[in-house]
Chain A
Amino acid sequence: EPEVTQTPSHQVTQMGQEVILRCVPISNHLYFYWYRQILGQKVEFLVSFYNNEISEKSEIFDDQFSVERPDGSNFTLKIRSTKLEDSAMYFCASSEPTFNTEAFFGQGTRLTVV
C-alpha cells in the first residue's frame, strides 16, 4: 500500500539552527500539507501546498517557515532559526487531486530543539 514517507524520524538541533524536514508524498497526489503536534497537544495545521504554491497557511506558519517541492517527489519544510518552542512532532500529509478526498499522513519527524 502506498504511504507517505518522512525523514528523519527524529532530529535534534541547537536553538538558532536551520532544519529541513523531508517528506515523500504518495506519487499521484497533488495536495500536500504540513502539521505539527506539540507533545500532549492537538494536531495543528501549518500549511497546504498545491500547484507549486502555498494555498493556505496558519498563524503558526510565520516567516521562519518555508516549504518547497524541489523535485517531482520531495516536499520539504524548512525552519530557518529554530526556537525551543518549535520542538514537536511534524507530520506531512498528501491527498489526491480529487474533491474532498482523504489525506494520508506520514509517521512524523520528532524535532527536538535544545
Chain B
Amino acid sequence: DAKTTQPNSMESNEEEPVHLPCNHSTISGTDYIHWYRQLPSQGPEYVIHGLTSNVNNRMASLAIAEDRKSSTLILHRATLRDAAVYYCILRDVSSGNTPLVFGKGTRLSVIA
C-alpha cells in the first residue's frame, strides 16, 4: 500500500486556522487522497477527499501539491470540537472501492 507520513501531534488555538500536512511521495496515479478524523470515543468520520485539484466542503479544504506528493488539510477556524486524530489515507481506486487503510494520524489539540 502507498504510505503517508503525518506529524504525530499538532496544537492549535481556538478560532485560528489549522494546516495539517501529509506527505505521500510514493502516490500513484490511481490513488485518491482521503481525510478522516476520529473524535474521542467515536468511530472515524469522513472529512474530505480529492485527486488533483483543491477541494472545499463545509468541514474543511484540501490543498493538493501540483506533483501530488503532499497535501494539506485546512480547518479554517478550529473549534474545541475539532480536537481529534486526523488521518490522511491514500485510496487506490483502480480495483473498485478498496478498503481504507488507517495510519497513526495526527492528534490535533485545540486550546481555548
Contacts and interface: CB of A to CB of B under 8 A. Distances in A.
A63 interface: no
28 contacts: A4-B43, A35-B102, A42-B103, A42-B104, A42-B105, A43-B44, A45-B99, A45-B101, A45-B102, A50-B97, A91-B43, A91-B44, A93-B43, A95-B97, A99-B96, A100-B32, A100-B49, A100-B91, A101-B97, A102-B34, A102-B46, A102-B49, A103-B100, A104-B46, A105-B44, A105-B45, A107-B42, A108-B43
Contacts of A102: 34, 46, 49
A93 B38 CA distance: 14
Contacts of B49: 100, 102
A48 interface: yes
Interface string B78-112: 00000000010001010011111111110000000
Classify chain B's interface size: 20 to 34
B98 A56 contact: yes
B99 A33 contact: yes
A75 interface: no
Q: Determine the main DSSP class of B at the interface with A.
A: loop
Interface string B54-90: 0000000000000000000000000000000001000
Interface in B4-49: 32, 34, 38, 42-46, 49
A45 B100 contact: yes
Contacts of A4: 43
A44 interface: yes
A100 B103 CA distance: 19
- 7 smallest CB-CB distances across A and B, nearest first, come from A105-B43, A102-B46, A43-B102, A91-B43, A45-B99, A48-B99, A105-B44
Contact of A106 (B43, B46, B99): B43
